[in-house]
Every structure is written in structure tokens, then in C-alpha cells.
Amino acid sequence: MAAPSALLVMGVSGSGKSTVGTLLASQLGWKFYDADDYHPEENRMKMGKGIPLNDQDRIPWLCNLHDILQRDVASGQHVILACSALKKVYRDILIQGKNGAPLKCDESGKEEKLAEVKLLVVHLTGSFEVISGRLLKRKGHFMSPELLQSQFDTLEPPSAPENFIQISVDKNLSEIIATIIETLK
């Protein structure tokens, strides 16, 4: 397999995706995107009210993220995306765009033949107790700790044939970063 041109740092809210992604991007000189920054206002309002997002809410958002990854990778840019990507189908959309989606994203009618994004999935894992403890310390984020349980319920951990590594959030940040960089070599 060719070296990945994009990294997906995934996991439930509070697993450290943005922290790990930002640090990794600065060490590797890659571009960093936080998927949360691309949620439409309706999604933010739902989450702010403690209402879990459904596939209809997530699929257009994931298609948009795929397009961003695709554009950057096509221009030779390496990218890191921090995104919960809890279900396999969500990760498929990030890799394949709307072709990976059960519901089509945009029906423009034009045939697009874009290459898939070569993605290494980095799954940050931790217990409910550890992660909920982290969320309670967090300020100014629209994910309520109550929604965390629904994320654990939704989570489909990556498995073969997905290209992934799993790292426990019990490790310290420098160990997590070192493990990811080692995997990329």
C-alpha cells in the first residue's frame, strides 16, 4: 500500500482528536482540519441541545469533508482530519465521497471519477469513564457530556480491511504522536 496522503484521527468526543491532530500536523508539516469546524449551523444547534445527529445530518457534512481532503490530496498536500467518524460508512464516505454514501450527497448529474483518498485511520480509544472525565473539564465546546453515551453506542471500531491503527488515550500525548509517526514510516 502506498503511503497514506491523509490521516483520519477518529474517536468519540473527548478522545483527543483535535489535540493529537494539531500536534501531529505541526510535527509533520501537514495541513490540519477539524471536522467540527465544518458542521452546518443546524447540526451545531442540535448538538447544543443534546440531540444526537443522525445520518441525514452527517452525510452532507462528511461529503463536504471528503471534497476538502480530495482537493488537498490532488494538489499534493498531505492532510490530517480530526473527525469522530464513528461508523464504517462514515469513513467510507471520507475515502470515497458520495460513492461511499448510501444516500447520495449531491445529484449534479456530472460523472466524477476522482481517485479515492488514501487514508490511514488513527482510532483513539478509551473507557467511558476516562473520556467523560475529560469532557467535564472542557470549556466552550458544543458536545454535551450526555451525548457521549450515544457516541459510544454508535461507535463501530475500525477493522480489516480498513487501513487503521488503534491507540489508547491512556498513553501520554508524546507516546501517541510517536506511535503514529512510526506507523507512517
Ranges of each domain in the chain: 6-101+114-184
C-beta separation of 163 from 120 below 8 A:
yes
Rounded to two decimals, the pTM is 0.87
Q: What confidence tens digit (pLDDT) does each residue in 104-163 have?
A: 455 444 444 455 788 999 999 999 989 988 887 776 655 566 678 888 999 999 999 999
Q: Which CATH number is 6-101+114-184 given?
A: 3.40.50.300
Radius of gyration of the chain (CA): 16
Cell of 68: 476538502
pLDDT band at 88 (very low <50, low <70, confident <90, very high): very high
